[in-house]
């Protein structure tokens, strides 16, 4: 791993200033994706700006659910208020990686990194979340812009994610047995106004909505409604773990499970 | 090089590190505590699990410099007064290891599991919770038995 200058600012303003002063800076949150990437030489920033010093964590349940960016997956999964308000989101957080990763990885880090196989992007898109940043609020549909890319501008920091409370939702994934990342993961939700949402992660270059499935669920929010409804294999990921055809098949299977689990 | 200090197994330690020094490198190379293993270095195997401020983390996926002021427990910190920790004893008793490479991480993960979920653990829970710890030898059967017995004795 290349060496870098380490910063641990105590405020978002100091973090932004450190980023501005860096030749090629990168923010670090829980580090569960970034540190492996640094070790593999996939990234070699001049400066690492650790956001851990901002102490920006916690879950607030009110008319919506607000999860601060530095909240770990374990803290999200353990929050009793969230478990009542959006059990499907609570379960998703409790199923990310493994217990040790969940002690470190954060929601802000996960979505800012936008790994195409990460779980949280499916929750954000599937539940119609709003991403709060140091500069503005961005709808999830506009935030995720493709593989490892987001609408975040230079130096902009995710501060919180706000989830509207759906009628019900469920998340089902088929994890890669070694990395535990989603080979395919599907968040299926019935939003407060009754409209269905289906968001798919792991299968393509980035998270996307399965609109044909949403149309089928609009008439009848049941697993049976998804019989014979599939996402085309063309354009899906194909690698040594699974072909595009296999992933396309998995999407329907996972979507049905997600609908069945929804509560 | 910046200097950091932390408490490891109850003892105050300090040392100089680079930004890129991993927590596991600090523990093994600077402190000479080689019970914490590096199995994969890709955040998958869990051989490097230690407790930081009471929580299990993968020390190969953590920067040492971010742990200034932290309290760290490694496998060397479990036994007290010359007696094995109940979880270590259970691994011995139930033959929960063969080569032993994964064992420190398994035991640190198991103790963390009990800290979070209590002493009564069923087999399904144990297997699920060990998702982040890989063993190439045992087939897990005896590890699961050891965790169950060790948990009850903690
Ligand atoms: S060495 Fe850290 S997870 Fe394998
Ligand atoms: S005992 Fe050899 S790897 Fe687990």
* B64 and B113 assigned to the same domain: no
Ligand closest to Cα of B91 equals 2
Has domain A54-164 been given CATH number 3.30.70.420? Answer: no
- In the reported structure, the alpha carbon of residue B36 is separated from the centroid of ligand 2 by a whole-number distance in angstroms of 14
A window 66-105, beta carbon within 8 A of B: 74, 97-101, 103-104
pLDDT tens per residue, range A108-167: 999 999 999 999 999 999 999 999 999 999 999 999 999 999 999 999 999 999 999 999
Question: For the residues A45-55, what does the mean pLDDT come to?
Answer: 97
Other CB atoms closer than 10 Å to residue A181's CB: what's the count? 20
Written as tens digits, the pLDDT of chain B (154 aa) is 889 999 999 999 999 999 999 999 999 999 999 999 999 989 999 999 999 999 999 999 999 999 999 999 999 999 999 999 999 999 999 999 999 999 999 999 999 999 999 999 999 999 999 999 999 999 999 999 999 999 999 9
Structural contact between residues A160 and A232, judged by C-beta atoms closer than 8 angstroms: no
Same domain, B65 and B96: no
Q: Where are the alpha helices (DSSP H) in chain A?
A: 12-21, 34-39, 73-78, 80-85, 87-94, 99-102, 107-113, 120-127, 140-143, 211-219, 244-261
Considering the domain architecture, whether residues B47 and B69 belong to the same structural domain is answered as yes
| Residue B81 maps to a domain | no
How many separate domains does chain B show?
2
CA A42 – CA A51 distance, rounded (Å): 21
Asked if B113's CB is within 8 angstroms of A101's CB, the reply is no
Given an 8 Å threshold on Cβ–Cβ distance, is B20 in contact with A179?
A: no
Q: Are residues B17 and B51 in the same domain?
A: yes
Domain range spanning residue B71?
3-76
B111 shares a domain with B53: no
Q: Which CATH architecture has domain A5-53?
A: 2-Layer Sandwich (3.30)
Residue ranges of domains in chain A = 5-53, 54-164, 168-261
User: Is 90 exceeded by the pLDDT of residue A179?
Assistant: no
B118 and B91 in one domain? Answer: yes
Q: In the prediction, which pLDDT does A180 show?
A: 86
Alpha-carbon span B86 to B96, nearest angstrom? 13
For residue B59, give the CATH number of its domain.
Answer: 3.10.20.30
Angle at B133 between CA B12 and CA A199, to 5 degrees: 110
- CATH number, domain of B102, equals 1.10.150.120
Pair (B72, B122) in one structural domain: no
Question: pTM value?
Answer: 0.96
Pair (B67, B90) in one structural domain: no
- What is the per-residue pLDDT for A178? 81
Q: Which protein residues are within 6 Å of ligand 2, measured from CB?
A: B 97-102, 135-138
Show which of B57, B76, B95 is a domain's final residue.
B76
Ligand number nearest CA of B106 is 2
Instruction: Name the CATH topology of A168-261.
Output: Enolase-like; domain 1 (3.30.390)
**Co-location of B101 and B139 in the same domain:** yes
Q: Of the candidates B49, B76, B103, which is a domain's last residue? A: B76
Residues of B with CB under 8 A from a CB of A: 2, 18-20, 22, 41-44, 46, 49, 55-58, 61-63, 65-66, 109, 112-113, 116, 129, 131-133
Residue B113 burial by CB count (10 A; 0-12/13-18/19+): exposed, middle or buried? buried
The answer to whether A54-164 and A168-261 have equal CATH topology is no
The proportion of chain A whose per-residue pLDDT surpasses 90, expressed as a percent, equals 97
């Amino acid at each position: 791993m290349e060496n870098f200058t380490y910063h641990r600012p105590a405020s978002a303003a100091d973090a932004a200033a450190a980023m501005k002063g860096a030749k090629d800076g990168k923010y670090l949150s829980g580090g569960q994706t970034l540190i492996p990437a640094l070790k593999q030489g996939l990234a070699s920033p001049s400066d690492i700006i650790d956001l851990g010093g901002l102490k920006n964590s916690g879950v607030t349940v009110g008319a919506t659910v607000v999860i601060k960016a530095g909240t770990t997956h374990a803290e999200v999964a353990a929050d009793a208020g969230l478990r009542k308000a959006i059990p499907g989101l609570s379960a998703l957080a409790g199923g990310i990686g493994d217990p040790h990763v969940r002690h470190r990885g954060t929601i802000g880090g996960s979505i800012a990194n936008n790994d195409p196989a990460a779980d949280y992007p499916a929750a954000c898109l599937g539940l119609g979340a709003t991403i709060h940043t140091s500069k503005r609020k961005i709808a999830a549909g506009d935030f995720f812009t493709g593989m490892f890319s987001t609408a975040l501008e230079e130096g902009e920091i995710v501060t919180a994610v706000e989830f509207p409370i759906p009628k019900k939702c469920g998340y089902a994934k088929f994890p890669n047995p070694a990395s535990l990342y989603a080979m395919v993961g599907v968040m299926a939700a019935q939003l407060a106004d009754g409209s269905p949402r289906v968001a798919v992660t792991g299968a393509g270059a980035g998270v996307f909505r399965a609109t044909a499935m949403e149309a089928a669920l609009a008439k009848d929010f049941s697993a049976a409604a998804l019989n014979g409804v599939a996402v085309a294999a063309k354009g899906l990921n194909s690698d040594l773990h699974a072909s595009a055809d296999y992933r396309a098949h998995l999407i329907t299977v996972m979507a049905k499970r997600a609908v069945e689990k929804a509560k | 090089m910046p200097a950091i200090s932390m408490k490891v197994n109850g003892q105050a330690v300090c040392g100089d590190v680079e930004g890129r020094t991993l927590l596991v490198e600090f523990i093994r190379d600077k402190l000479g505590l080689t019970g914490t293993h590096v199995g994969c270095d890709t955040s998958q195997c869990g051989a490097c699990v230690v407790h930081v401020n009471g929580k299990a983390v993968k020390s190969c996926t953590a920067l040492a410099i971010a742990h200034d002021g932290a309290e760290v427990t490694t496998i060397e910190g479990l036994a007290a007064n010359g007696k094995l920790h109940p979880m270590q004893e259970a691994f011995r008793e139930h033959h929960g290891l063969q080569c032993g490479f994964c064992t420190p991480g398994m035991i640190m993960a198991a103790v963390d599991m009990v800290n979070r979920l209590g002493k009564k653990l069923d087999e399904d829970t144990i297997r699920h919770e060990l998702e982040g710890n890989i063993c190439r030898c045992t087939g897990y059967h005896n590890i699961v038995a050891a965790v169950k017995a060790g948990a009850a004795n903690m």
